[in-house]
Amino acid sequence: MIMAETGVATSSLEGHRIKDAPASMYYIPDFISAEEEAFILSKIPANRWISLSHRRLQALPARLTASNVLVASAGLPTWLAKPAVERIEALGLLATAPHGINHCLINEYEPGQGIMPHEDGAAYHPVVATVSLGGSIVLDVVEKTRNEREKDERQAWRILQEPRSLLITTGSAYTDTLHGIAEVKEDVDLDETTVANWMLLGDRESITASAGRNERTTRISLTFRDVLKESKVGSKIFGKTKT
């Protein structure tokens, strides 16, 4: 049995399945410690942010090309490899991924910022692992529709992502749904009837104590994936002899 340092074993992953969400999403609170969270936050390069109109982001080891190829001379930095990537891979869900995790997208959301509903698509192996840092945020997941008429009937789920948690999206949750984050300063009406992962949360009490409200603070997410098209470039052009 593989035992990650947090005490989450492969065989107990089933206990973290979000039963009210499409198959399959898993939520693990306190996947990293507060010290590990602070360490990762201190290592995120300050000079690599790319500002979009509604959030900023950076990609490591590199952004994908227009045809979704990861061209990089190095893998992920050690501050992402340990403990985050190592611990995610120990869960076993990426066992059939061709490279394992080779890419991390870092998104930062200030209160009032979000991301439009979208799917991650065919550039990646269909397993996404998201580690949250900083503040809590609600991820909205909604069924894809084939036509306009179905739009009103589609199912939707709200996933609350707490700081230091891990969310894994696989299977039809990856292929048949869209996900997004509303551009609000506060998530409201959070309770056991509206939050799909309510029973898996690390701290339900504080949400209940604030009458089902989550006031947003800056949240940084680490989205770990396996980019399917990878091109390793040697460092020769920089005068080294690496092959």
Q: Which residues bind ligand AKG (CB under 6 A)?
A: 105, 107, 115, 120, 130, 139, 179, 221, 223
Which among Fe ion, ligand AKG, none contacts residue 107 (Cβ within 5 to 8 A by kind)? ligand AKG
The residue with its CB nearest to ligand AKG is 221
- Smallest distance from ligand AKG to CB 150, Å: 23
CB of 70 closer than 8 Å to CB of 103: yes
In the complex with ligand AKG, the residue whose CB is nearer, 112 or 234, is 112
Cβ-proximal residues to 81 (8 Å cutoff; 6+ apart), any chain: 75
Name the residue nearer to ligand AKG (CB basis): 139 or 201.
139
Q: Which of residues 116-155 bind Fe ion (CB under 5 A)?
A: 120
The upper half-sphere exposure of residue 106, i.e. CA atoms within 13 Å in the direction of its Cβ, equals 21
Nearest approach, Cβ of residue 17 and Fe ion (Å) = 20
Which amino acid is it at 40?
I
- Distance (Å) of CA 210 to CA 60, 69, 104, 136: 36, 45, 33, 13
Beta strand 229-232 with 69-72 is parallel
The vertex-222 CA angle with 219 and 223, nearest 5°, equals: 125
Of 115 and 200, which CB lies nearer to ligand AKG in the complex structure? 115
Provide, rounded to whole angstroms, the least separation between the CB of residue 139 and ligand AKG: 6
The residues that touch Fe ion, with contacts defined as CB under 5 A, are 120
